[in-house]
Amino acid sequence: MKKEKIFPQHIAIIMDGNGRWARKRRLPRIMGHRRGTEVAFKIVQFSVKLGIKILTLYAFSTENWKRPKEEVDFLMGLLEDYLAKHRGMFQKQNIRFQVIGNWEVLPFGIKNRLREVIEATKNNTGMVLNIALNYGGRMEIIDAVKKIVGEVRNGRIAPEEINEGLFTNFLYTRGLPDPDLLIRTAGELRVSNFLLWQISYTEFYFTKKLWPDFTPKDLQRAIRVFQKRERRFGGIKRDYEGSL
């Protein structure tokens, strides 16, 4: 019997390698980020075409503040321009735009633009585009713990009620399924504090391609590799069940 190919519903991407892409061409790092943003735009559109339900992109981590101020300012400005430029596209493609992370502390301009796009697209029913901004997986877990402690203190939650399902509802990704597939570009084999809770059973796909060189074909390749994997979620292979 032919095995049915399962399509990943939720794909998360660590878009790494913008700086190296620029260095290889003796260009300033910001040129790599500019090109990386264009690629992100293409991949968003292609994901809609493929019918992916949720796309989560790691745009700025809680650790990225360590970069030179000019680079941080440039990245924020880039995202602001990107949002202004593509607002119409989000509506046309029925994309629901969301942000995960502690984005309330971001500079005024970008914060307002984010709010505007979140509000304008909140009733869209197509792909959810989740941008991780000032995001840290450990911080997300700590924030969830603090909120739960508050609820326990005011009597709305009994400690015995705390379980995985309840905990999940206090994460930034509340209401979304965990990623099926996590892609990281640029050859680094680590998760860099991304979606720590949510990737317990996620399949990983690493490629040496630098993010500015990543194409829709590369995304298709990652999906094909994912489809060959057997996800057991801690169980055993189905064929083995009868042969214990």
Angle between helices 29-50 and 69-92 (to 10 degrees): 20
Q: How far apart are CA 230 and CA 43, in angstroms?
A: 25
- Nearer residue to ligand FPP within complex by CB, 16 or 140: 16
Residue 54: CB minimum distance to ligand FPP, A: 15
Residue nearest to ligand FPP (CB): 19
The 79-118 contact track toward ligand FPP, x by CB under 6 A, reads: x--x------------------------------------
Active site annotation includes 18: no
Name residues contacting ligand FPP, limited to 16-75 (CB under 6 A): 16-20, 33, 36-37, 40, 57, 59, 64
Q: For residue 97, how many other CB atoms are within 10 A of its CB?
A: 24
- Nearer residue to ligand FPP within complex by CB, 18 or 134: 18
H-assigned helices in 106-204 = 108-121, 137-153, 164-168
Q: Closest by alpha carbon to 32, among 219, 210, 218?
A: 210
- The H helix count followed by the E strand count for the chain is 7, 6
Active site annotation includes 64: yes
Q: Closest by alpha carbon to 54, among 165, 177, 203?
A: 177
Confirm or reject binding of residue 9 to ligand FPP (CB under 6 A): no
CA dihedral (209, 212, 213, 219) positive or negative: positive
- Nearer residue to ligand FPP within complex by CB, 40 or 144: 40
Name residues contacting ligand FPP, limited to 158-217 (CB under 6 A): 186, 211
Question: Which residues are part of the catalytic machinery?
Answer: 16, 64
Which positions touch ligand FPP (CB under 6 A)?
15-20, 33, 36-37, 40, 57, 59, 64, 79, 82, 131, 186, 211
